[in-house]
Amino acid sequence: MANRSVTRYLGLCGCVILGLLMMANANAGFGQDYFDAGVQASSKEDYSVALGYFKKAKQAGMDTAVLQYNMAVSYYRLQQYENARRIFLALTDVRAFEQRAYFNMGLIANKQKDKPAAVRWFQRAHRNVDSKQIQALAKEALHRLGSSPRKVQRIDPGWTGFISGSLAYDSNVTLVNNDLLGVTNRDDTAMDISASAARWLKGGINNGVRMSLGASLQKYSKLSRNDYDQLNARVMRYDRLGDWKMRIGGSWNEIYFDGSEYQRIVGADVRSRRALSENNQLHLRYKLSRIQATDAAFDYLDGWRHQLRAGIQLREGKNRVRYYYQLELNDRKDFIRRVPGTNDINSSVSYSPARHTVRVTGWWALNNNWDARLDTRYRYGRYNDSNILNGRVTSRREDSQIRLSARISRKFSRRWTVDGQYTYTNNDSNIDRRSYDRSIVKVGVTRSF
């Protein structure tokens, strides 16, 4: 009897919510007459006829979100739940229809006897506050399903962030920046400290501007010449472009090496993602960086870097796995030394690699307090030009690198987390002293605010 009561109530909610847009005016267009005929048929609960008119409107060139919504409503009324689900899922990325689409996805999940999915979708509809009516219906639907609405997250205009510290053992200390990759063949312990703070300057995650500031330092106990410090700032604009959720912004990084100035990197970043299904997302990213040496000794690293990335994220409950491929192109000044009094090149070293990276990262919630992450990466890099050493042309540098990482963390309270991490790197290069194996063990604590 309880299940029947829930089903009857959600069916009544469906009558209310699914009819909300039946009276909405569509944008004028070539298929307007078909659309109007479909709305009239829907008002008479003749959904089969209505769907036929909506399809004709689409064939006539009309392709608005209002039309898509009404087609989905008709599919739902005809109990063609998968067709309705597909359209409502796409509408979750359309701002004006997002909350309605969440609620309707909950109704479909309930019809398909998938209670956990229904609860998740009703939770999303309740957290969105665009329509108080839909929010109230979602709240009641959750109560009927034996669940409580989660607290609506408000945008905090203040600062949020974290500060963390860790101790690490490094089996083979390397120059940590990729541009200066080299090895010492010596081990050492290090202390890492990092902090980040961010705040919304305007709006929120669906339409807003966010600023973040950060700093980090790495200090070795014996090999201090490998110490590495960084300051950074970023401003990102969050918005939508059709079905895509967008982040567009810029960043500034000031990097210090061995306690002295090293590099300044100014970047422009475009990220986008869209839903492929309820649990799967497509991610795209392009980043352009202008790299400038702040110490004349490193001016051969000046230049541009392009990074293009495409990936897919798969989610199941709190667990998720992300796969991506990245292409990195560099156009640097490179190191060139000429024979005195001539134009002949005596020595030349390329610092302009083209890198291909394939990476898989998984996050798992082991229980309420423990989380785990596994990360695997393969990267192949080939430099643009051959090296010249003492007038003799050598091979173009090629590197093949595998990196494996495992991390486990435990949250002791809402603010405090302790974690341990192990990372193994194998770099195989055709250039002497560029091949190495490296292991890092790290234990740290993080305080968020």
63 and 121 co-located in one domain: yes
d(CA 161, CA 194): 11
Last residue of one domain, picked from the residues 86, 114, 144: 144
Q: So what's the pLDDT on residue 422?
A: 98
415 and 336 co-located in one domain: yes
Residue 67: count other Cβ atoms within 10 Å of its Cβ: 22
HSE-up of residue 259 (Cα within 13 Å, Cβ side): 5
pTM score over 0.85? no
* Spatial CB neighbours of 401, under 8 Å, sequence gap ≥ 6: 377, 378, 379, 380, 381, 425, 426, 427, 428
List the chain residues with pLDDT less than 70. Answer: 1-30, 150-157, 175-184, 339, 341-344, 390-391, 432-433
176 and 304 co-located in one domain: yes
The CATH number assigned to the domain holding 167 equals 2.40.160.40
304 and 182 co-located in one domain: yes
User: Which amino acid is located at 380 in the chain?
Assistant: Y
Q: Helix (H, G, I), strand (E, B), or coil: what is residue 24? A: coil
137 and 83 co-located in one domain: yes
Q: Helix (H, G, I), strand (E, B), or coil: what is residue 413? A: coil
Q: Residue 71: inside a domain, yes or no?
A: yes
267 and 192 co-located in one domain: yes
Q: Which residue's structure tokens are 């305007």?
A: 202
Q: Residue 414: inside a domain, yes or no?
A: yes
10 and 74 co-located in one domain: yes
Q: Which residues of 77-93 are buried (b: 16+ CB within 10 A; e: fewer)?
A: beeebeebbebbbbbbb
301 and 415 co-located in one domain: yes
Q: So what's the pLDDT on residue 275?
A: 86
440 and 321 co-located in one domain: yes
Q: So what's the pLDDT on residue 198?
A: 95
Q: So what's the pLDDT on residue 24?
A: 39
Last residue of one domain, picked from the residues 109, 144, 179: 144
Q: So what's the pLDDT on residue 19?
A: 46
- For 113, phi then psi, to 5°, come to 65, 30
Q: Residue 405: inside a domain, yes or no?
A: yes
Q: So what's the pLDDT on residue 181?
A: 59
The CATH number assigned to the domain holding 90 equals 1.25.40.10
CA dihedral (75, 78, 82, 83) in degrees, to 10, reads -30
Q: Residue 152: inside a domain, yes or no?
A: no
**418 and 412 in contact (C-beta within 8 Å)?**
yes
100 and 231 co-located in one domain: no
Q: Residue 87: inside a domain, yes or no?
A: yes
d(CA 135, CA 127): 7
Domain count, the chain: 2
374 and 416 co-located in one domain: yes
358 and 436 co-located in one domain: yes
Q: Residue 149: inside a domain, yes or no?
A: no
Q: Residue 116: inside a domain, yes or no?
A: yes
**97 and 91 in contact (C-beta within 8 Å)?**
yes
The β-bridge partners of 130 are: none
- C-alpha R_g of the chain: 28
Domain that holds residue 233: 160-448
d(CA 74, CA 87): 11
Last residue of one domain, picked from the residues 80, 111, 144: 144
Query: For residue 115, how far is the Cα from the chain centroid?
Result: 28
